[in-house]
């Protein structure tokens, strides 16, 4: 295990350090490798970002725009709907992400064990929710979690509850329902990242641990988690982005055809991204203000991601 | 080695430019088609249309297209089907970006949104005043597409509302059809209680955060969240107060089956769990989809609010056609709408029979299809009734912010249901939030 | 000890089976859904019905399914192949040849991933119109060739790749691209497999951007079709389910094929 730490790399590069022209040529190779991606991103990502940053200083009614400077950002702090969205988003983030990632990690560790039978079937099955169409998934979940739906009937018949749970009709339960749905949909998705990461962990480590008499639990904490650290950082950053931009579930679980009004009972499912959407497409279109909300999300995700990198002790 | 990488790069650049090339070709060939010299007498061109709902708007547009093509065989149609939210997203994005490429010629817009589009994108929609005879359409439809004295659209389907009920359940509770005519919401609740007691069935499927019924109640009183000049009238709106109070009464009376979302709401009456539905006429398709309930349904006028000026007719939803000023085939598009949607009586009979679409083109309502008896509704002449009610719908100004207002009010409703806020306090809170949001 | 192991095993399998059933159930429901009528679907019928053929008939006669399906396949395959090459190269460049300037570039890229797409849509759309890529599949493919998400994933995976091997290859005189194409790429198969699954999935499911770029029914993708079908006064759920099952199949096939790489692990050259 020692030979793959970054330190060993440093030691080795010392060998090349003396050769300046080699260094320079490596640097050029570095740029060549990243060039296509960087050029494409500059055109299709950086340019629009600069554009929308400028837009975030405008207030608009459709194409009727005026410059307002930082007023959009100031307005945000008094905008009750936005603050509700912020609060809801964080509730989802703090509770749902850790549960889901831990579950994914456990499943990946189990399914990486070569002595388990039918691994291919289990893997595919557990990944299936990630490829299930949003339309189907929404219809079904709404049906299962309705007042007289499958879930309530089941819980009632097992005498776990006395009265049906108002899943999508009560602010608290609506959030719970959405978290259950999100966990259902994204656990298998994250599991696959871990599984692919685990293939880069040499089997010898587990074999050696077995010989040393380490239990599966010990192996999980002392081999699996440390070796997967870069991938764990990756999934937690991605989940942070995903959750802070959470849109599909709240939007679809609350939509009521031509008659939908709030996002969940008392706006309990309103997230920042749904608010952005409404500001652009459902309400009087104010793209400038919507852009300002977007950059608040960027700011928050950036801070949370830096924390995650730092906690994991990942360089940079 | 370098050479190999270089060749990979080259191939990729080639592939990319090829892809880009494909793109260009397609657009330019489109343009060529457009630029063909036009024969003086015969109309040629291609009309692009955006709409939603495959079994309703799209199917109806296809019927219209066939009729128009009989006279104008050289006019092509590109009817693009999208979800309603998708049409809105796409239209906003394109109008906002100010590009003219790829705009449709005709687009379907929901009535609640009409003023928002017209005022947000001045110059984007073609002025149809004088080009279409708007006097032939229902007054309330025309007024919502009028801005500064100019009329911008061609009215299409009506959202005229009705009180659909199960005759068998109501009979069990001791009510005859004539008992249900022109009632108030208070009477409706009273009936509901009796139905619940006698049959065990809920009177209504009801979404606690659904503002649809509230809009029906408001419009029946000729009121809205805004006055004629667009000022917010939430806190001091008698009709709205009564509507909110009625919502609470309906919930408290225990006569509802709580539902969440469209499907569950539809399932409630499809499964026979509820005795009635109060909503727009477009629900007929969903009601009839459960064929086993044929003959057990009837329709009465919409209940009215207990405030002065409220009538037994209202509206929920409905949409209209608009022509884009910068579309490539604007003039043909207007001619098409004029010939079919503002002139073809038989067309409206056909779409009523085939699709259950109630148009707002008044001359068509004397037609044969409108006076037919419908076996599903116990041989009631439902469409005669609906077209009668259309004339009574009070015209209101939906203004620019209907959805904002709807959300603001429904957001305080949980506190109204629980009794935490009085109706007045809740409406005050909603008004403050709404004013802050729209900057008034 | 042995008893404990057996009990542990039982729990592990129980856990797997529960996770499996919960995950697969909606899929089962979709399949029953496509054999039923819309009313039955809404009413929550969970058993097989007799409308399978009718639903498919409606699907195939009302829509140009073949064309739409092919569009989706074409866009997703081209995007996936392109993304894998471009993004893995970039990630390799960032991870292996670290320099301050590139780290800063990388940080900027990572930051840009956090901007919600809705904020970028209008400027991006103007760009596409300027490049005459509106209503073309190229407009979709080009904009998603460089995926920040995939670059990030590759870079995190490359972190666990033993750098000694690269050094050793250099000492042996191998060129930089040769090292990448014949040593790194083959030994990171599981990473490429996972990235391929995700790139394909993202492209296949992408919805908002295709909606904005594509203008005609001819260019439409499966995701757009399903979305348009479900927005109706009276949605034809049986037909919709048939379309959904059809649209899900390619992803399942790809996952099922590529998942073999998750068991193989690293190839011999690395394990030594």
Residue A66 lies in a domain: no
| B106-135 pLDDT per residue, tens | 999 999 999 999 999 999 999 999 999 999
Q: Mean pLDDT over all residues of chain C?
A: 88
Residue B10 lies in a domain: no
What is the residue whose two structure tokens read 């990319």? Answer: B16
Distance CA A186, CA A104 (A): 9
Residue B195 lies in a domain: yes
- The helix or strand, by DSSP H or E, that contains position B300, with its residue range, turns out to be strand B297-300
Going by C-alpha positions, the residue among B151, B163, B161 that lies closest to residue B318 is B161
Q: Do C44 and A150 touch (CB under 8 A)?
A: yes
Q: Are residues B189 and B276 in the same domain?
A: yes
C-alpha distances (whole Å) from B124 to each of B84, B397, C135 are 20, 21, 21
Q: Is B371 on the interface with A (CB under 8 A)?
A: no
Mean pLDDT throughout C149-178?
A: 89
Among A74-78, B32-36, B42-46, C241-245, the minimum mean pLDDT is found in B32-36
Q: Are residues B52 and B141 in the same domain?
A: yes
pLDDT at A5: 42
Residue B69 lies in a domain: yes
Q: Are residues B236 and B105 in the same domain?
A: no
Q: Do A201 and C19 touch (CB under 8 A)?
A: no
Domain count along chain B: 2
Full set of structural domains in chain C with CATH: 63-271 (1.10.3720.10)
Which segments within B312-413 are labelled E, that is strand? 319-323
| B134-157 pLDDT per residue, tens | 999 998 899 999 999 999 999 999
Q: Are residues B184 and B308 in the same domain?
A: yes
Residue A121 lies in a domain: yes
Q: Which residues of A touch B415 (CB under 8 A)?
A: 266
Q: What are the CB-based long-range contacts (under 8 Å, 24+) for C254-257?
A: C254/C196, C254/C197, C254/C200, C255/A124, C255/A127, C255/A131, C255/C197, C256/A120, C256/A124
Q: Is B309 on the interface with C (CB under 8 A)?
A: no
Q: Are residues B228 and B286 in the same domain?
A: yes
Q: Are residues B241 and B154 in the same domain?
A: no
The alpha carbon of residue B407 is apart from the nearest alpha carbon of chain A, in Å, by 5
Contact in structure between B59 and B355 (CB atoms under 8 Å): yes
Going by C-alpha positions, the residue among B238, B203, B236, B199 that lies closest to residue B218 is B238
pLDDT band per the 50, 70, 90 thresholds, residue B39 = very low
Q: Are residues B394 and B267 in the same domain?
A: yes
The alpha carbon of residue C63 is apart from the nearest alpha carbon of chain A, in Å, by 18
Going by C-alpha positions, the residue among B375, B357, B323, B336 that lies closest to residue B67 is B336
Give the burial class of A291: count Cβ atoms within 10 A of its Cβ; 0-12 exposed, 13-18 middle, 19 or more buried. Answer: buried
pLDDT at A9: 45
Q: Are residues A109 and A191 in the same domain?
A: yes
Neighbours of B5 (CB within 10 A): 19
Q: In terms of residue numbers, what domain contains B312? A: 161-316+374-438
Which segments within B221-264 are labelled E, that is strand? 256-259
Residue A3 lies in a domain: no
Among all residues of chain B, which has the CA nearest to that of C37? Answer: B289
CA dihedral sign of residues A66, A70, A72, A74: negative
C-alpha distances (whole Å) from B84 to each of A137, B352, C233 are 20, 21, 11
Q: Are residues B247 and B383 in the same domain?
A: yes
Q: Are residues B240 and B337 in the same domain?
A: no
pLDDT at B230: 86
pLDDT at B272: 94
Q: Do B89 and A280 touch (CB under 8 A)?
A: yes
Bridge partners for B151 per DSSP: B146
Neighbours of A19 (CB within 10 A): 11
pLDDT at B232: 93
Going by C-alpha positions, the residue among B266, B270, B288 that lies closest to residue B375 is B288
pLDDT at B32: 42
pLDDT at C228: 84
Domain count along chain A: 2
Decide if pLDDT at B33 tops 90. Answer: no
Distance CA A68, CA A53 (A): 13
Q: Are residues A85 and A195 in the same domain?
A: yes
Going by C-alpha positions, the residue among C108, C148, C115 that lies closest to residue A300 is C115
Mean pLDDT throughout C74-97?
A: 95
More reliable by pLDDT, B24 or C110: C110
Q: In terms of residue numbers, what domain contains A277? A: 73-312
Q: Do A131 and C252 touch (CB under 8 A)?
A: yes
What is the residue whose two structure tokens read 């203000």? Answer: A289
pLDDT band per the 50, 70, 90 thresholds, residue C265 = very low
Q: Which residues of A touch C16 (CB under 8 A)?
A: 107, 110-111, 116, 122
Q: Mean pLDDT over all residues of chain B?
A: 89
Give the burial class of A94: count Cβ atoms within 10 A of its Cβ; 0-12 exposed, 13-18 middle, 19 or more buried. Answer: exposed
Among A8-22, B21-35, B155-169, C60-74, the minimum mean pLDDT is found in B21-35
Q: Are residues B150 and B212 in the same domain?
A: no
Residue A216 lies in a domain: yes
Q: Are residues B244 and B383 in the same domain?
A: yes
Minimum-distance CB partner of A63 among B121, B258, B409: B121
The alpha carbon of residue C131 is apart from the nearest alpha carbon of chain B, in Å, by 8
Write out the two tokens for A249. Answer: 């579930």
Domain boundary residue among B307, B336, B367?
A: B367
Write out the two tokens for B252. Answer: 């408290």
Q: How many residues does chain A have?
A: 316
Q: Which residue out of C29, C37, C42, C87 would a mutagenesis test of the B interface target, given it has the greatest number of B Cβ atoms within 10 Å?
A: C42
Contact in structure between B217 and B225 (CB atoms under 8 Å): no
Mean pLDDT throughout C201-226?
A: 89
Q: Are residues A81 and A195 in the same domain?
A: yes
Contact in structure between B326 and B172 (CB atoms under 8 Å): no
User: CATH code at A192?
Assistant: 1.10.3720.10
Going by C-alpha positions, the residue among B238, B235, B232, B209 that lies closest to residue B436 is B232
Decide if pLDDT at B16 tops 80. Answer: no
Going by C-alpha positions, the residue among C96, C119, C62 that lies closest to residue C243 is C62
Give the burial class of C108: count Cβ atoms within 10 A of its Cβ; 0-12 exposed, 13-18 middle, 19 or more buried. Answer: middle
Residue A111 lies in a domain: yes
Those residues with Cβ within 8 angstroms of residue B84's Cβ, 6 or more apart along the chain or in another chain: A258, B52, B53, B110, C231
Going by C-alpha positions, the residue among A194, A270, A282 that lies closest to residue A239 is A194
Among all residues of chain C, which has the CA nearest to that of B357? Answer: C233
Mean pLDDT by 10 residues, chain A (316 residues): 42 54 84 94 94 89 84 90 94 96 94 86 91 81 85 91 90 93 94 87 84 87 89 92 89 63 86 89 89 92 90 64
pLDDT at C267: 38
Taking each helix axis as running N to C, give the angle between helix A119-131 and helix C237-258, from 0 to 180 degrees, rounded to the nearest 10: 130
Residue A136 lies in a domain: yes
Q: Are residues B212 and B247 in the same domain?
A: yes
Give the ipTM of the model, two decimals please.
0.87
CA dihedral sign of residues C70, C74, C77, C83: negative
User: CATH code at B426?
Assistant: 3.40.190.10
What is the residue whose two structure tokens read 């259309």? Answer: B390
């Amino acid at each position: 295990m020692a030979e793959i730490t970054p330190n060993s790399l440093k030691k080795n590069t010392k060998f090349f350090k003396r050769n300046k022209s080699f260094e320079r040529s490596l640097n050029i190779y570095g740029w060549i490798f990243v060039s296509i991606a960087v050029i494409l991103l500059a055109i299709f990502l950086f340019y629009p970002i600069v554009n929308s940053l400028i837009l975030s200083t405008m207030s608009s009614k459709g194409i009727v725009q005026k410059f307002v400077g930082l007023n959009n950002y100031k307005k945000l702090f008094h905008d009750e709907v936005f603050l509700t969205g912020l609060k809801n988003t964080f509730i989802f983030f703090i509770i749902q992400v850790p549960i889901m990632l831990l579950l994914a990690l456990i499943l990946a560790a189990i399914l990486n064990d070569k002595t388990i039978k039918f691994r291919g079937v289990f893997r595919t099955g557990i990944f299936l929710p990630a490829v299930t169409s949003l339309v189907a998934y929404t219809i079904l979940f709404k049906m299962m979690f309705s007042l007289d739906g499958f879930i309530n009937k089941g819980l009632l018949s097992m005498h776990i509850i006395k009265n049906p749970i108002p899943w999508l009709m009560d602010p608290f339960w609506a959030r719970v329902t959405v978290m259950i749905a999100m966990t259902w949909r994204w656990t298998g998705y994250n599991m696959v990242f871990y599984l692919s990461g685990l293939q880069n962990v040499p089997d010898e480590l587990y074999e050696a641990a077995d010989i040393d008499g380490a239990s599966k639990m010990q192996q999980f904490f002392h081999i699996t988690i440390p070796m997967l650290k870069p991938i764990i950082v990756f999934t937690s950053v991605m989940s942070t982005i995903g959750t802070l931009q959470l849109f599909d579930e709240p939007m679809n679980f609350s939509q009521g055809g031509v008659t939908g009004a709030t996002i969940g009972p008392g706006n309990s499912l309103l997230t920042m991204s749904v608010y952005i959407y409404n500001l652009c497409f459902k309400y009087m279109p104010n793209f400038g203000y919507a852009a300002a909300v977007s950059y608040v999300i960027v700011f928050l995700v950036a801070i949370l991601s830096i924390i995650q990198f730092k906690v994991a002790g990942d360089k940079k | 080695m370098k050479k190999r990488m270089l060749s990979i790069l080259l191939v990729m650049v080639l592939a990319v430019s090829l892809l880009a090339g494909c793109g260009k070709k397609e657009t330019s060939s489109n343009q060529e088609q457009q630029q063909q010299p036009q024969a003086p007498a015969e109309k040629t061109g291609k009309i692009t249309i955006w709409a939603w709902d495959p079994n309703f708007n799209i199917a109806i547009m296809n019927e219209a297209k066939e009729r128009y093509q009989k006279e104008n065989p050289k006019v092509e149609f590109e009817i693009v089907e999208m979800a309603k939210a998708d049409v809105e997203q796409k239209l906003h994005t394109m109008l906002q970006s100010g590009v003219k490429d790829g705009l449709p010629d005709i687009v379907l817009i929901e009535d609640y949104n009409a003023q928002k589009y017209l005022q947000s994108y001045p110059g984007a929609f073609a002025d149809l005043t004088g080009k279409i005879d708007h006097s032939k359409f229902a007054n309330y439809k025309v007024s919502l597409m009028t801005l500064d004295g100019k009329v911008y659209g061609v009215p299409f389907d009506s959202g005229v509302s009705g009180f659909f009920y199960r005759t068998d359940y109501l009979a069990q509770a001791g009510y005859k059809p004539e008992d249900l005519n022109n009632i108030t919401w208070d009477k409706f609740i009273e009936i509901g209680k009796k139905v619940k007691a006698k049959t065990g069935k809920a009177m209504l499927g009801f979404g606690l955060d659904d503002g649809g019924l509230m809009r029906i109640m408001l419009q029946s009183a000729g009121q809205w969240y805004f006055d004629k000049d667009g000022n917010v009238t939430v806190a001091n709106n008698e009709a709205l107060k009564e509507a909110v109070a009625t919502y609470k009464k309906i919930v408290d009376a225990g006569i509802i089956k709580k539902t969440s979302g469209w499907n569950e709401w539809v399932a409630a009456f499809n499964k026979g769990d509820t005795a009635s539905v109060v909503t727009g006429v477009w629900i007929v398709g969903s009601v009839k989809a459960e064929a086993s309930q044929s003959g057990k349904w009837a329709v009465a006028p919409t209940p009215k609010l207990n405030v002065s000026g409220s009538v037994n007719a209202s509206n929920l939803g409905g949409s209209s056609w608009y022509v884009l000023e910068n579309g490539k085939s604007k003039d043909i598009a207007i001619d098409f709408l004029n010939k079919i949607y503002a002139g073809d009586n038989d067309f409206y009979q056909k779409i009523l029979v085939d699709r259950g679409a109630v148009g707002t083109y008044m001359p068509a309502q004397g037609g044969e299809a409108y006076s037919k008896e419908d076996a599903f509704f116990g041989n009631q002449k439902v469409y005669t009734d609906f077209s009668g009610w259309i004339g009574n719908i009070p015209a209101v100004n939906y203004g620019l912010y209907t959805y904002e207002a709807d959300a603001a009010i429904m957001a305080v409703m949980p506190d109204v249901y629980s009794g935490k806020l009085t109706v007045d306090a809740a409406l005050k809170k909603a008004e403050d939030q709404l004013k802050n949001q729209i900057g008034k | 000890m042995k008893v404990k192991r057996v009990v542990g095993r039982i729990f592990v399998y129980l856990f797997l089976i529960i996770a499996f059933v919960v995950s697969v159930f909606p899929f089962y429901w979709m399949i029953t859904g496509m054999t039923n009528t819309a009313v039955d679907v809404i009413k929550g019928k969970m058993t097989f019905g007799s409308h399978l053929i009718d639903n498919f008939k409606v699907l195939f006669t009302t829509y140009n399914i073949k064309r739409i399906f092919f569009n989706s396949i074409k866009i997703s395959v081209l995007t996936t192949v392109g993304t894998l090459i471009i993004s893995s190269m970039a990630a390799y460049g960032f991870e292996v040849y670290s320099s301050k300037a590139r780290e800063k570039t990388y940080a900027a890229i990572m930051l840009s991933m956090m901007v919600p797409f809705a904020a970028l849509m209008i400027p991006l759309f103007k760009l596409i119109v300027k490049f005459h890529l509106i209503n073309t599949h190229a407009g979709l493919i080009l904009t998603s060739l460089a995926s920040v998400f995939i670059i990030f994933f590759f870079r995190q995976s490359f972190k666990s790749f033993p750098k000694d091997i690269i050094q050793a290859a250099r000492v042996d005189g191998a060129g930089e691209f040769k090292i990448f194409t014949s040593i790194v790429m083959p030994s990171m198969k599981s990473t490429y497999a996972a990235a391929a699954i995700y790139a394909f999935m993202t492209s296949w499911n992408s919805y908002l951007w295709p909606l904005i770029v594509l203008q005609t029914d001819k260019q439409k993708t499966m995701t757009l079709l399903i979305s348009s079908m479900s927005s109706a006064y009276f949605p034809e759920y049986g037909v919709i389910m048939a379309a959904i099952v059809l649209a899900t199949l390619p992803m399942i096939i790809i996952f099922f094929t590529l998942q073999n790489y998750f068991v193989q692990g690293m190839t011999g050259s690395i394990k030594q």
